[in-house]
Amino acid sequence: MKTPRQSLRRFLVSVAILCCLIGLVAAPVFIGGRHPDLSLKSAAVFAASTDSYSLSSPVRLLQTPRIELESGTISIPQNSTGLARSGEMIARFITGSSSRIALKDAKLSADFSGSGITTLNKATPGGVAPLVAIFQDLKFDSLTVSDSTVHLKLADGSTLALHDLTADVTSNREGVVHAEGSFIFRGEKVAFDTTFATNLDAKSGARLVAASVKSRLLAVNFDGYYMLGENPRLLSQQGDLKIPSLQEAANWIGVTWPSSPGFKDFHAKGQLEWVNRTITFQDAVVQMDGNEATGTLSVNFSGERPAIEGTLGFKTLDLTSYFRSGDDVAQTSSESLLSLVSTATDLNFPLVGAVDADLRISSHSVVVPGVTIGSTAATISLKGGKMIADVAELEIDDGTRGGGQLRIDMNGPQPSYDIRGKLQDLDIGRAARAIFGHATIQGRGDAIVEISATGDTGTSLLNSLSGKLYVTMNDGGSIGLDIDQLSAAVTSPEAQNTWTTASTGAMPVDHLDARFAVVNGVIRTERVWATAGERAVEAQGAINLSARMLDLSLVIGDRPAADAAEDARPEPRVVIDMHGPWKEPSLRPGLFPRNGMRGPQ
């Protein structure tokens, strides 16, 4: 299994291929006396034929990073008549007129490991042919590279290879260099086309550059300026990056990306800045999976993991594709959250540990299966295998407001989760239907959720749930049980047949205050109290989420008088015990509490 550090380095090198390739391929023209900041050191001996020479020792093209031509054949290309005239060409080199050189079966290396500089053998006096000397002085105007290989040595000692390199490099007297060609990287063909100036631009003080890199898995285009020095910098007013599949592209460059729906058709377009190991899009339009956002997005590759930062604003953020695809989406929207979680077999989130991130996201509308959420603002932080999502603003349907926090920690033997949230004027019936599959309560109210859990499967997660859940309805609603029917039938022999019809009925209530403690997947009542006219209903007991079992008592009595003492306890009239599967529990008369109903506190 690849470590995050190994994946990062591979990813970094892949991103840097564009600049490295330009430097490697264009170095002979770029360095040749046109850039005083770059030093050229070389020594080589060639075995000569009529018009071609085979390199027998390396030629240093650039000192830092160390770039060398280790082997290959240098020759003078044929002219229009099909003949290579070495004497004529050498004369043109010497006089500085137009000249061409071809390089075939070459092996180029670039050492970014910082392991030191190898001393090269000095050329034997008199042993260097005129064409070799010309090549060492880099006095040619065009270079054709074919059937060659580039090896990039990384800081961890590993090496990446670009195979089947072909390129045509040309320059003019104004210092403009053009390089065009292709190479094979990890089985994928990558084409490049770049033009850059070796002279400083009078207005910007930088050098002009335009480049395009295209493959089946990604495409990059930019047009701007580059600056050399201790911290090289690239600026483009209009950079463009397209990746058809982030999963496929990530796996190609060595970053482990789990199989999952979504993450398709990524496209970023805007002001591009590349400094050291950080790439930033500003004033950009970012698209993925049909969603479009504006803002800033940057990726830094200097740490153990890629670090992503950004501020993105969406009009609509549709998350449907990240749940399931195809016909499963409709099925998911009709399933309860409890059913989905209980059947989950793998709740690991590898991406939480693969990257670091600090993202600020806002959207006018968020769509998930079965639910459309209104205006939303959230901050998402990922660091060291931990994710924290702070939702500062949340609107649901036509009036719900709230916020909260979600934490996921992938460290330790099993992932852990924490949810904290508060919602005001929530459609409780809709929320209950989404969680349990049926509306146990109807009406609007406030809800507070503080839940923690651990586990990498749905069953282990449900069995570890702990925390609290509070629901309050002050403006009335209904309970999804026909209390009158249950009360009348509980003492009859037909009590068991009553549950099916009673559970599809409802009892209007004026007020509901429900407070639960959750311990190891079991919801236990702390205070569940509802009033309906002159009646009051209290629930006492527990609900096992994983087993879907009830062990509850419903205590039904008279509502305390308005002028009754605060601790008044009316005598209960009916007690109903419910035990067993919650779809069809057994019913029987219960024992009356000694101190009457507890009532609101």
Q: Looking at 312-412, list the stretches that DSSP marks H as alpha helix, in order from N- to C-terminal side.
A: 328-334, 337-342, 350-354
Give the residue with greater pLDDT, 574 vs 221: 221
Using alpha carbons, select from 170, 213, 221, 159 the residue that is nearest to residue 189: 213
Cα atoms found within 13 Å of the Cα of residue 444, Cβ hemisphere only: 10
Asked if residue 295 lies in contact with residue 310, where contact means CB atoms within 8 angstroms, the answer is: yes
The first and second tokens of residue 238, run together, are 């209009």
Dihedral of CA atoms 95, 99, 105, 108 in degrees, nearest 10, equals 70
Tell me what pLDDT residue 229 has: 61
pLDDT score, position 440:
82
- What is the total count of domains within the chain? 3
* Residue 346 vs residue 123, higher pLDDT: 346
Domain end among 273, 303, 333: 303
In-domain check, residue 222: yes
Strands 142-153 and 100-111: parallel
Task: Calculate ∠ Cα 158-37-163, nearest 5°.
Answer: 30
Please give the average per-residue pLDDT across 475-480, as a whole number: 90
pLDDT at 325: 40
Residues 205 and 151 in one domain: no
Tell whether 208 and 291 lie within a shared domain.
Answer: yes
Q: Which pLDDT belongs to residue 81?
A: 53
pLDDT-derived band at 559, boundaries 50, 70, 90: confident
pLDDT in tens, 222-278: 999 887 666 678 899 899 999 999 888 878 877 666 666 778 899 999 999 988 778
Which residue, 287, 303, 319, sits at the end of a domain?
303
- Is residue 373 in a domain? no
CA distance readout (Å), 588 to 33, 197, 492, 583, 591: 98, 89, 9, 16, 10
- The DSSP letter of residue 380 is E
Any domain includes 132? yes
- On whether both 428 and 524 belong to a single domain, the answer is yes
Q: Is the pLDDT of residue 551 over 90?
A: yes
How far apart CA 451 and CA 408 sit, in angstroms, is: 12
Q: Which of 369, 298, 307 has the alpha carbon at shortest distance from 336?
A: 369
Phi, psi of 486, rounded to the nearest 5 degrees:
-65, -40
Condensed to tens digits (0 to 9), the pLDDT of residues 455-474 reads 988 889 999 999 999 999 99
| 17, 40: one domain | yes
pLDDT of 583 > 50? The answer is yes
Q: Highest mean pLDDT: which of 7-11, 141-145, 525-529, 557-561?
A: 525-529
What percent of the chain is predicted at pLDDT more than 90?
30
According to DSSP, the β-strands at 371-383 and 511-519 are: unpaired
Q: Which helix (H) or strand (E) holds 461?
A: helix 458-464
- Which of 251, 277, 303 terminates a domain? The answer is 303
- CA-based Rg of the chain, rounded to a whole angstrom? 36
Look-up: residue for tokens 């030629």?
Answer: 59
Average pLDDT over residues 206-222: 91
Q: Are residues 169 and 259 in the same domain?
A: no
The more confident residue out of 217 and 250 is: 217
Q: Are residues 46 and 177 in the same domain?
A: yes
**Same domain, yes or no: 490 and 562:** yes
For the ranges 10-14, 279-283, 575-579, which has the lowest average pLDDT?
A: 10-14
Res 443 pLDDT > 80 = yes
* Residues 280 and 149 occupy one common structural domain: no
Calculate mean pLDDT across residues 500-524.
Answer: 90
Amino acid at position 324, single letter: R
Segment 359-386, tens digit of pLDDT: 999 998 888 766 678 889 999 998 988 9
Same domain, 521 and 435: yes
Please provide the size of the chain in residues.
Answer: 601
29 and 166 housed in the same domain: yes
pLDDT on residue 228: 67
Classify residue 422: in a domain, yes or no.
yes
Strands (E), 133-232: 142-153, 159-171, 176-185, 188-197, 207-215, 219-227
Q: What is the pLDDT of residues 135-171, one digit of tens each?
A: 445 556 788 899 999 988 766 667 888 999 999 988 7
Distance of CA 186 to the CA centre of its chain: 23
Contact 303, 290 (CB under 8 A): no
Which of 186, 190, 194 lies closest to 170 in space, CA to CA? 194
| Residue 226: half-sphere exposure toward Cβ, Cα within 13 Å | 20
Please tell me the least confidently modeled range out of 29-38, 206-215, 306-315, 326-335: 29-38
**Hey, what are 201's tokens?**
């631009």
Asked, for residue 25, whether it belongs to a domain, the answer is yes
**362 domain-assigned:** no
Residue type, 323: F
Tens digit of each residue's pLDDT (9 = 90 or more) over 88-130? 555 554 445 446 788 899 898 887 665 544 433 333 333 444 5
pLDDT at site 599: 56
Q: Is the pLDDT of residue 63 over 70?
A: no
CA dihedral 50, 54, 60, 61 (to 10 degrees): 60
Highest mean pLDDT among 23-32, 45-54, 326-335: 45-54
Residue 162 lies in a domain: yes
Whole-angstrom Cα distance, residue 6 to residue 114?
Answer: 17
Q: Are strands 507-509 and 535-544 parallel, antiparallel or unpaired?
A: unpaired
Same domain? 5 vs 116: yes
> Token digits for 589?
């008369």
Look at residue 173 and tell me whether its pLDDT is greater than 80: no
Residue 41's φ and ψ, nearest 5 degrees, are -130, 125
pLDDT score at 141: 75
Q: Is residue 23 part of a domain?
A: yes
Range(s) of the domain holding residue 222: 200-303
Query: Are both 243 and 145 inside the same structural domain?
Result: no
Q: Please write the tens of the pLDDT for every residue from 30-60.
A: 333 333 333 333 334 344 444 667 877 777 7
